[in-house]
Amino acid sequence: MTTATASPIQPAGRRRSGPASPSLVQSIGLVAEREVKMRLRSKTFLISTGILLLVILAGIVVGGFLAKNTASETTKVAVVGNAGAGLVDGKTFDVTEAADVAAAEALVKSGDVEAAIAPATDDNPTGVQVIFDSEASNTLIMQLSAQPQVTILDPDADGSAGFLLYIVSLGFGLVFFVSATTFGASIAQSVVEEKQTRVVEILMSAIPVKALLAGKVLGNSILAFGQILAIAALSVIGLTVTGQTELLAGLGTPVVWFVVFFVLGFILLAALFAAAGSLVSRQEDIGSTTTPITMLIMIPYFAVIFFNDNPVVMTIMSYVPFSAAVGMPVRLFVGSAQWWEPILSLLILAVTAALVILVGSRIYENSLLKMGGRVKLSEALKA
């Protein structure tokens, strides 16, 4: 004789269900957390970050050593009227009185003085202009209480860029290049690895594709931003300890703008790297899709090194979205950019980043589940 067991009766309108699916924001946070933890466990990432910090610190120490060797030297300047009242430390300069601007320019052209300080010819708020022969001295400019008008008498004359400008340009270019390539390549490799191991199919069954892409970009952006802050903190400490407070004061505004530009620029590049990674299914093929993006990062790095003293090239770089993060801070350091230029350049970068994210996300969504050979770009852009 068998005994029938009655199944429990469920209340009307109530069904058994599993755990609630995470929301879009929660999904993005989970993916971002996973990306951060994976990178922090990577010895390659930790070693490369340590090397970058050591290179930055070495550059600061070398710059401080050279600055101390030249600290005792006086700079010969010609002064017209009371224009020299803006000098912070008069002991640093060997001042020659000039009757008028023409006489001061003659002293500069003859080489008797390095620069001349005269009343400004435009509405510059300082009321002072600094006149150079063929190349501006950032050290002398930073000795003034405010940013003056800079006049170059012979801008076409041959002359190498100053060591200080070269070091600053190299610093901005190196930080942008290393951080963008390191974290960008990490995003592309992560996408390809997930496709190759079929993990992406499991992830897509649990969270939306947009959350997967946004989480990868957010997680690596947090790491990149943290690296930039570590470099900035190390630079401030190093410049303070080595007594380069004048350089630190001159770098304040350019560094702030560099961080702002880098954040937007990296988000743009991150979307491109994610899209490039989704086009292939093997790690061996990833170079074929990421090389063009890497070239976009390398061009500003080499351009700012070789053309940091070329105002035309630097102006173009400061408005091109892929190089604005390097070009504009260098122009702000030199003092050749107007107050509105970084704002306009930032708007151009923001609009470009938004468009690239839309295109990149479309490529990413349409290519993520396509296995085998490389997905053609035209196919990835189709719905």
Q: Cα-flanking dihedrals φ and ψ of residue 284, to 5°?
A: -65, -25
Q: Please check whether residue 6 lies inside any domain of the structure.
A: no
pLDDT at 24: 83
Q: Does 270 share its domain with 338?
A: yes
**Range of lowest pLDDT (36-40, 49-53, 369-373):** 369-373
Domain count, the chain: 2
Apex 200 CA angle, 194 and 204, nearest 5? 155
**Domain endpoint, select from 92, 121, 152:** 152
**Domain endpoint, select from 152, 187, 208:** 152
Nearest CA among 286, 223, 295 for reference residue 38 = 223
Domain residues for the domain of 42 are 24-63+162-381
**pLDDT at position 58 over 60:** yes
Q: Does 268 share its domain with 373?
A: yes
Q: Does 291 share its domain with 335?
A: yes
Average pLDDT of the chain? Answer: 81
**Domain endpoint, select from 93, 124, 152:** 152
Q: Does 243 share its domain with 271?
A: yes
Q: Which residues does residue 119 pair with via DSSP β-bridges, in sequence order?
A: 128
Q: Does 97 share its domain with 192?
A: no
**pLDDT at position 121 over 80:** no
Sheet of strand 128-132: strand arrangement: 93-98, 75-80, 115-119, 128-132, 149-152
pLDDT at 291: 92
pLDDT at 341: 94
pLDDT digits 0-9 by tens, 335-346: 888 889 999 999
**What whole-number distance in Å separates Cα of residue 265 and Cα of residue 169?**
18
Q: Please check whether residue 314 lies inside any domain of the structure.
A: yes
pLDDT at 352: 95
Q: Does 207 share its domain with 137?
A: no
- More confident of the two residues 369 and 261: 261
pLDDT digits 0-9 by tens, 87-104: 545 556 777 888 888 888
Pairing of strands 115-119, 93-98: unpaired
pLDDT digits 0-9 by tens, 123-162: 666 677 788 877 766 666 666 655 666 666 665 544 434 5
pTM of the model: 0.70
**Section 299-321 average pLDDT:** 90
**Section 24-47 average pLDDT:** 88
**What whole-number distance in Å separates Cα of residue 358 and Cα of residue 116?**
52
Q: For residue 49, what pLDDT band results from cuts at 50, 70 and 90? A: confident
**pLDDT at position 320 over 90:** yes
- More confident of the two residues 62 and 319: 319
pLDDT at 379: 84
pLDDT at 228: 87
- Give residue for tokens 């960008």: 184
Q: DSSP letters along 108-136, please?
A: HHHTSSSEEEEE-SS--TT-EEEEESSS-
- More confident of the two residues 145 and 382: 382
**pLDDT at position 220 over 80:** yes
Q: For residue 285, what pLDDT band results from cuts at 50, 70 and 90? A: confident
Residue 284, C-beta contacts closer than 8 angstroms, at least 6 positions apart? none
pLDDT at 97: 81
Q: Does 102 share its domain with 239?
A: no
Q: Does 280 share its domain with 310?
A: yes
